[in-house]
Amino acid sequence: MLKQQLQFKLSQKLSPQQIQLMKLIQLPTLAFEQRLKQELEENPALESGKDKTDDYEDDSLYGEDAYDDYSSDDDSRDDVNIDEYISDDEIPNYRLQANNYSADDDDKKVPYASGTSFTQFLMNQLSTFRLEEEEQKIAEFLVGSIDESGYVRRSVTDIMDDLAFTQNVFTTDERINEVFEIIHELDPAGVGARNLQECLLIQLKRKENSFGVRLAMEILEKAFDQFTKKHYKKILQKFDIDEDALKDAISEIERLNPKPGGTYAGSNKIVEQIVPDYTIRIVDGKLELTLNGRNAPELHVSKEYNEMLKGYKQSKEKSKSQKDAVLFIKQKLDAAKWFIDAIRQRQQTLLVTMNAIMHYQEEYFLTGDERKLKPMILKDIADMIAMDVSTVSRVANSKYVDTPYGTKLIKEFFSEAMKNEQGEEVSTREIKKILETVIEEEDKRKPLTDEKLSKILKDKGYPIARRTVAKYREQLDYPVARLRKKI
């Protein structure tokens, strides 16, 4: 059975301008500059610079009376080519600005790294060997299979199959292993290894033949599992050596590079540039917050487009073509105004939000001691500035602040709260900092277990369970006690 009924409900929808503002707020400085550049290129009614005009007013220049004789139902409107009424010679000022820079101008371009790739670097070395045609194809295929860390992480069987299907090279396991020996002669030492054990052994073979090197090779070949798990007592018994000899062997191994490819590949990567959105300085014992000037561009509406609208309004005869042209101009001017307003609101939102965070964490910003960080969640700041939590999240997740103690990601200042024995709320960041200090200062011959770390924190006034200590330890990137052991 079908029936009709009326239902009233309230719903909230974001306007295009609000959506635009939200997108602008979450952009970091470099991405914001790209967005600004894109808008300037797409909207000729928007210009940058100090030559500001306030003449553009929506109602005064073109109110509803400007379109009295224009019918939106007129089908002929679809046939009008607006480009015919906008002169090609009418180029905005920002397009005509010279690209000459004086010595005092800041060069804001980021230089890009260039050079030989890691694979090409290895290929160049390969050309110095005298190889048969089949060996050459296998060697080039193996070099192409080396990842950024310097390893070939594929089985010989898979390599053999791929050579047959892609290179039309039918070979054997023995032949591939022979070519692997050639690859292992390339620099950096250890490149082309199939696992960590082989990588370290390749490097040791190139070192001077001393007692420590020979023992290190023997340990890696015959007791690799015990070594990785730091079962030093078993190694001492197995090789019948004293602790000093073991220390020498471990010292030789610790000097090796577990990721030989990173030595070369890392130097050719483009380093991401972090541009702080804010700067916090201590002036006369007080905090001073400033917004990066690159977040506050000077924008204004094009004078030429304003003059066009004024000319249209003053003309006595208004043809349909003029009306179509002025509609196009109106759309561009509206878009320019909306964008300028969004930029201003963005600046205001960024400053208000960061100012609240700065005062909330004032003790930290004055001292730089992470133990002074207060528990703080997004809602705390949202309540202070009377904004939505999502707005604060957009600001915190992608913005950086330059402080006297380094450039920090704003979201790092947020943390959950835990209560100490006095019932006071303390930041989990504070607890992690204390845990980090305890681990760094422990006796590495007898590292502290999670149970002992939990007891130490409890003695310091932080009653935390062992499982929570284990979670924090992993977040701080510390292994379990056994793997922190040194002799």
Binning pLDDT at 50, 70 and 90, where does residue 15 land?
low
Q: Render pLDDT for 367-406 as a digit per residue (tens, 0 to 9).
A: 888 778 888 888 889 999 998 888 888 888 888 999 998 8
Q: Render pLDDT for 44-73 as a digit per residue (tens, 0 to 9).
A: 877 776 654 444 444 433 343 433 433 334
The pLDDT value given to residue 478: 87
Q: Render pLDDT for 255-276 as a digit per residue (tens, 0 to 9).
A: 899 888 877 654 555 455 678 8
The pLDDT value given to residue 353: 92
Rounded CA-CA distance 234/179 in Å is 36
| Residue 110 DSSP symbol | P
Average pLDDT over residues 305-310: 72
Rounded CA-CA distance 384/388 in Å is 10
Rounded CA-CA distance 75/71 in Å is 9
The pLDDT value given to residue 281: 93
Rounded CA-CA distance 321/342 in Å is 32
The pLDDT value given to residue 9: 62
Residue 471, token pair as written in the block:
């979670």
Structure pTM?
A: 0.52
The pLDDT value given to residue 288: 92
Neighbours of 43 (CB within 10 A): 19
Q: Render pLDDT for 24-48 as a digit per residue (tens, 0 to 9).
A: 887 878 888 888 888 888 888 777 7
Strands (E), 108-241: none
The pLDDT value given to residue 14: 54
Torsion of CA 182, 187, 191, 192, to 10 degrees: -30
Contact present, 46 and 343 (Cβ < 8 Å)? no
The pLDDT value given to residue 115: 57
Does the pLDDT value for residue 79 go beyond 90? no
The pLDDT value given to residue 77: 39
Question: Does residue 235 or residue 422 have the better pLDDT?
Answer: 235
CA atoms within a 13 Å half-sphere pointing along the CA-CB vector of 354 = 30
Q: What percent of the chain has pLDDT over 90?
A: 10
Average pLDDT over residues 147-156: 89
Of the listed ranges 222-226, 256-260, 441-445, the one predicted with least confidence? 441-445
Please identify which residue in the block is written with the tokens 């009377």: 386
Rounded CA-CA distance 67/371 in Å is 65
The pLDDT value given to residue 11: 53
Question: Does residue 49 or residue 237 have the better pLDDT?
Answer: 237
Residues in the chain: 487
Sign of CA dihedral 468, 474, 478, 480: positive
Average pLDDT over residues 149-169: 88
Average pLDDT over residues 240-251: 88
The pLDDT value given to residue 70: 34
The pLDDT value given to residue 58: 44
Binning pLDDT at 50, 70 and 90, where does residue 102 land?
very low
Does the pLDDT value for residue 87 go beyond 50? no
All structural domains of the chain? 14-88+274-414 (no CATH), 118-267 (no CATH), 417-487 (1.10.10.60)
Binning pLDDT at 50, 70 and 90, where does residue 359 land?
very high
Binning pLDDT at 50, 70 and 90, where does residue 89 land?
very low
Contact present, 163 and 171 (Cβ < 8 Å)? yes
Binning pLDDT at 50, 70 and 90, where does residue 114 land?
low
Binning pLDDT at 50, 70 and 90, where does residue 328 land?
confident
Question: Does residue 485 or residue 228 have the better pLDDT?
Answer: 228
The pLDDT value given to residue 54: 46
Average pLDDT over residues 336-351: 85
Does the pLDDT value for residue 191 go beyond 50? yes
Contact present, 239 and 227 (Cβ < 8 Å)? no
Does the pLDDT value for residue 355 go beyond 90? yes
What would the DSSP string read from start to end of 415-480?
B-EEE-TTS-EEEHHHHHHHHHHHHHTS-TTSPPPHHHHHHHHHHTT----HHHHHHHHHHTT---
pLDDT, the chain, mean: 77
